[in-house]
Structure 1
Amino acid sequence: MTFKLPKFTPPNFHKDFLKDAPNCKTVEIIKDGVAPSNYHAMSIYPEYFKIDGEWILPTQSRMDCVPVVTDDKRVEVVEFRNLRVGDKVVIGRTEDASEGIYMYTKGFKTLNGNKDAFAFRTGRSRETAFSKDYDELYKRLKYDRDHGHIVWVLGPAVVFDYDTRKALSALVENGYVNAIMAGNAMATHDLEGSYLGTALGQNIYTQESVPNGHYNHLDLLNEARRAGSIENLMAEGKIKDGVVKTCIENNVPLILAGSIRDDGPLPPVIADVYKAQDAMRAQTRKATTVICLATTLHTIATGNMTPSYTVRDGKIRPVYIYNVDISEFAVNKLGDRGSLEVTTIVTNVQDFMVHLKNNLIDNE
């Protein structure tokens, strides 16, 4: 069965409470980076703003940011740090249209007459059967390869295993990866796997620790910094395979955000946290499917930047987000933060990646 996007049903703007609602109010910024009192903060859901009698939906959104009304009646969603003097920020903290602000959560809802108010096993845990989720994911990825923007958020565990590195590289080569967001460790250990056959000092085939293996990632980092770039290291013939190499060869953006505990780091790692955030948001703005694997902090950061919807070709569609981890705590953390509606899969990422490669590529 082919995948079909759910149709977005907009609000009925002829209803009295929407038709008779006032225009939203704005206040101009008087100091860069500081919102006015009673500013409105965005959620993950579609929010409409009434401007000159017309309800306007931002085409790009982000939770915990503020809506700015432009002179041509568009609504831009802006981080506090990016507010500038003269920006017109929407004020008001109700979302029921009474202040010209309306949060709408039912656009993609489907009626299910068989759903009970009380039922067992409605949550997600190690006891959950994820076969249906896999089947849905295969269909969504095949659709979004041609019609969307698939963003991957990776922890280093994804590249600790030979088969997993090979599987992810194959997905990159076959168009299932439009961007990767990670930290210094993921790229370092992927490159270490090619350069020395280890990841954090363990053989990527046997998982056995090698003598003085704790030096290996440092040796790789030192070599990359000597070469000046990963591309230069590749040109020297020292990197022959792996996820990073495949991304570079296929022009897939690789956003590496630095952290306080980084070794090295690799030359392309973005040390400025806000520049890294801007680079990540450039990808989440375009994202239609986001897959987060074994990285709690990067997952939460990405989730906070990703709305529940996006606008492509003038149509409103959902953004699908998957959080995959062996830890139930990790997969549930994003939901606990109120970030978004997310499909969680409790499994090790090595099995997950191989399943995807087998079903998306080998079975085509």
Structure 2
Amino acid sequence: MNFKLPDFYPPDFNKANLKNAPIARFEEVIKPGVAPDNFHATSIFPEYLKLASDNWTLLTESRMDCVVVKKSDNTLEVREFRSLMPGDMVAVGRTERGEDGIFVYTEGFKVPDESEELFAFRTQVTRESSFSIDYDQLYQLLDYERKNGFVVWVLGPAVVFDADAREAMVDLVDKGYVHALLAGNALATHDLEGSVFSTALGLEIYSKKSVHLGHYHHLETINKIRRVGSIEKAVETGLITDGLMKKAVEKKVPFVLAGSIRDDGPLPEVVADVYQAQDKMRSLVRKGTTIMTLATQLHTIATGNMAPSYQVDKKGQVRPVYLYNVDMSEFAASKLANRGSLSASAILTNVQDFVVTVARGVAKLRK
């Protein structure tokens, strides 16, 4: 079975509420970082603004909890509050069914029979849910996205605490299933520690046995990387000989390591300023067509907030953005489901087992 993107069914703008809707209104920003009163806040769904009597314009790149700015060339841009500057023209209006010339559209990917939809909307997953069909659908999706999309992986350090999972993640990068990587200091540090000392957080990466002075290993690793200047330099000099970060460098997979108040070191590439980190993350998330979030609740929720439920390609075609959350905790899955996403799916399992299973599953499709 070959994966096929679902069709997008655009709104019927001849319906009375849209045909007779007023032109969208915009008001000027006076103070930097402050939107006008009654600003319109964006959602994860496709949104159309009426710019002329016969012109409903779709936001091509969106993000929830931002505002819409009309630029001088009449194009629309979704922007964070902190990026607003005096003179920017911001859409105003709190209704969403056309009353203010703004239409939030939630039904673009719906099909008559929900049972036929490959990626059904699931909100009530638990640890007792079965996921066999989810895995099979995911293999097909990743195989499609490898050449046709942009797959963003958001990883917690647990992914590299296990020798087989670490190697499986390396294989996914090597085979082209990873187009961008988002993580924190810990994921990269413990992956690099695995190369330098064959441990993760001081435990032998395969046997999980404690080693003498192993609690120093992640700090020693950070110090070694800081001494040579960067992860890329550490790979070039032969300090790092295997692992996820090495493969990402070799395959030129862009990555963002967002800093945390509890970071050790950190590694040279870690972005300490939270808003710079957010901007760098969003520069990759906005390209994402499938987003895989594994065992990192804060990064998962942050990325989910940056990701719309759709993308518009260069030909103007609208497609869904698929977002998977893999975690042992139901909390993270519930947070994503509560976003109201049409395409958020959860798989509740050990992420190390998940990565190994996915690597094997997509490998079978290549045979």
Q: TM-score, normalised by structure 1?
A: 0.96
Q: Does 1:301 align with 2:302?
A: yes
The residue number in structure 2 matching 1:281 is 282
- Closer, same or farther in 2 for the Cα pair 1:29/1:253, shift >3 Å? same
- Closer, same or farther in 2 for the Cα pair 1:209/1:333, shift >3 Å? farther
SS class of match (1:182)? strand
The residue number in structure 2 matching 1:217 is 218
Deviation at 1:338, TM superposition (A): 5.3
Q: Distance in 1 between matches of 2:123 and 2:296?
A: 25
- Closer, same or farther in 2 for the Cα pair 1:202/1:320, shift >3 Å? same
Q: Does 1:12 align with 2:12?
A: yes
Q: Distance in 2 between matches of 1:28 and 1:92?
A: 14
CA contact (8 A) 1:191 1:239 kept: yes
Q: How does 1:142-291 map to 2 (within 5 A)?
A: 142-291=143-292
SS class of match (2:253)? coil
SS class of match (1:56)? strand
The residue number in structure 2 matching 1:43 is 43
Q: Does 1:344 align with 2:352?
A: no
Superposed CA RMSD: 1.5
The residue number in structure 1 matching 2:335 is 333
Q: Distance in 1 between matches of 2:299 and 2:310?
A: 20
SS class of match (1:153)? strand
Number of residue equivalences: 359
SS class of match (2:216)? helix
Could you list the per-position Cα deviations for residues 242-278 of structure 1 after superposition, in whole angstroms to 9, with x for gaps in the alignment? Answer: 0000000000001100010000000000111111101
Counterpart amino acid of residue 204 in structure 1: I
Deviation at 1:329, TM superposition (A): 1.9
Deviation at 1:17, TM superposition (A): 1.1
Could you list the per-position Cα deviations for residues 214-251 of structure 1 after superposition, in whole angstroms to 9, with x for gaps in the alignment? Answer: 11100101111111111222233221100000000000
Deviation at 1:212, TM superposition (A): 1.4
CA contact (8 A) 1:300 1:339 kept: no
CA contact (8 A) 1:40 1:91 kept: yes
- Closer, same or farther in 2 for the Cα pair 1:213/1:340, shift >3 Å? farther
The residue number in structure 2 matching 1:358 is 360
Deviation at 1:122, TM superposition (A): 7.1
Determine what percentage of the aligned residue pairs are the same residue. Answer: 57
Q: How does 1:313-332 map to 2 (within 5 A)?
A: 313=314, 314-332=316-334
Q: Distance in 1 between matches of 2:114 and 2:207?
A: 51
Q: Distance in 1 between matches of 2:305 and 2:204?
A: 35
Q: Distance in 1 between matches of 2:348 and 2:202?
A: 27
Q: Distance in 1 between matches of 2:228 and 2:328?
A: 36
The residue number in structure 1 matching 2:22 is 22
CA contact (8 A) 1:303 1:339 kept: no
Q: Pick which of 232-241 and 260-269 moved more.
A: 232-241
Deviation at 1:331, TM superposition (A): 2.1
Q: Distance in 2 between matches of 1:316 and 1:236?
A: 44
Deviation at 1:84, TM superposition (A): 1.1
CA contact (8 A) 2:294 2:326 kept: yes
- Closer, same or farther in 2 for the Cα pair 1:326/1:182, shift >3 Å? same
Q: Distance in 1 between matches of 2:9 and 2:123?
A: 26
- Closer, same or farther in 2 for the Cα pair 1:349/1:124, shift >3 Å? same
Could you list the per-position Cα deviations for residues 260-303 of structure 1 after superposition, in whole angstroms to 9, with x for gaps in the alignment? Answer: 00000000001111111011001111100000000000000000
- Closer, same or farther in 2 for the Cα pair 1:212/1:299, shift >3 Å? same
Counterpart amino acid of residue 356 in structure 2: V
SS class of match (2:264)? coil
Give unmatched runs, 5+ long, in structure 2: 117-121
CA contact (8 A) 2:21 2:98 kept: yes
Q: Distance in 2 between matches of 1:335 and 1:358?
A: 28
Q: Distance in 2 between matches of 1:88 and 1:349?
A: 45
Q: Distance in 1 between matches of 2:342 and 2:16?
A: 30
Q: TM-score, normalised by structure 2?
A: 0.95
CA contact (8 A) 1:201 1:214 kept: yes
Give unmatched runs, 5+ long, in structure 1: 116-120
| Runs of 4+ off more than 6 Å | none
CA contact (8 A) 2:301 2:332 kept: no
SS class of match (2:164)? helix
Could you list the per-position Cα deviations for residues 139-172 of structure 1 after superposition, in whole angstroms to 9, with x for gaps in the alignment? Answer: 1111111111000000000000111111111111
Counterpart amino acid of residue 102 in structure 1: F
Q: Distance in 1 between matches of 2:292 and 2:85?
A: 33
Q: Distance in 1 between matches of 2:115 and 2:277?
A: 45
Deviation at 1:213, TM superposition (A): 1.1
- Closer, same or farther in 2 for the Cα pair 1:113/1:315, shift >3 Å? closer
CA contact (8 A) 2:43 2:65 kept: yes
- Closer, same or farther in 2 for the Cα pair 1:159/1:340, shift >3 Å? farther
Q: Distance in 2 between matches of 1:205 and 1:284?
A: 33
